[in-house]
């Protein structure tokens, strides 16, 4: 079994924030693969289903970003999951918009959601880093992250969430490089993500 965690802040006020793209991606995975219904559980909302012939629990913590680790720890403890069975989808200011990279472990790079998860379950979980870009002025980063996606950004956001959902089974199978490559190629075909060579493939 795997635990897919989308990071974000609960409530309509934050729904369109760049910081909530992890929520958006995991919600799209549930919708695309007809995994339902969401139920209040593990200090958030969760739904269990199958992806690539594997049981997967999708979790959106309701604790607010800074306490995401409490919800993740509760779900992991309930299902007796190790950090290696946890996949966290989150916004990444150090990647350009619409880029996606996958890695296991590493630093938290100032991301409070990752910091909380690491504090509660350790560092060896998988991160699906979803690029949102960052402003030139460092002091503007918090405002950028907690601001809503601009109207001009929504086409790539919607396209990227669709492509992530379409290829989520590759993450279940451990084919992280293939997942990255498929996303790059699909986004390029849609007119996004055209400015670099595709990442390697498994």
Is position 19 annotated as part of the catalytic site?
yes
The two three-digit tokens of residue 91, written as one number: 């916004």
- Cβ count near 98 (within 10 Å): 24
Please state, in angstroms and rounded to a whole number, the distance separating the CA atoms of residues 94 and 55.
32
ω before 73 within 30° of 0 (cis)?
no
Pick the catalytic residue: 19, 33, 90, 184? Answer: 19
Residues contacting residue 13 through CB under 8 Å, at least 6 positions apart: none
101 beta partners: 129
Distance (Å) of CA 138 to CA 26, 34, 93? 29, 40, 11
Instruction: Taking each helix axis as running N to C, give the angle between helix 112-121 and helix 68-78, from 0 to 180 degrees, rounded to the nearest 10.
Output: 40
Helices (H) and strands (E) in the chain, counts: 7, 7
> Which residues are annotated as catalytic?
19
């Amino acid at each position: 079994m795997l635990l897919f965690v989308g990071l974000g802040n609960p409530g309509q006020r934050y729904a369109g924030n760049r910081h909530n793209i992890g929520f958006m991606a995991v919600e799209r995975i549930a919708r695309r693969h007809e995994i339902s219904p969401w139920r209040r559980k593990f200090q958030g909302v969760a739904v269990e289903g199958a992806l690539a012939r594997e049981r997967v629990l999708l979790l959106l913590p309701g604790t607010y970003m800074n306490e995401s680790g409490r919800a993740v720890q509760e779900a992991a403890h309930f299902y007796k999951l190790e950090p290696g069975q946890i996949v966290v989808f989150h916004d990444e200011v150090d990647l350009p918009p619409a880029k996606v990279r996958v890695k296991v472990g590493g630093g938290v790079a100032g991301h409070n959601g990752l910091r909380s998860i690491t504090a509660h379950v350790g560092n060896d979980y998988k991160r699906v880093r979803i690029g949102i870009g960052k402003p030139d002025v460092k002091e503007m980063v918090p405002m950028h992250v907690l601001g809503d996606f601009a109207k001009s950004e929504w086409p790539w956001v919607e396209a990227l969430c669709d492509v992530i959902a379409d290829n989520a089974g590759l993450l279940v199978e451990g084919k992280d490089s293939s997942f990255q490559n498929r996303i790059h190629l699909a986004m390029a075909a849609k007119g996004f993500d055209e400015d670099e060579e595709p990442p390697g493939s498994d």
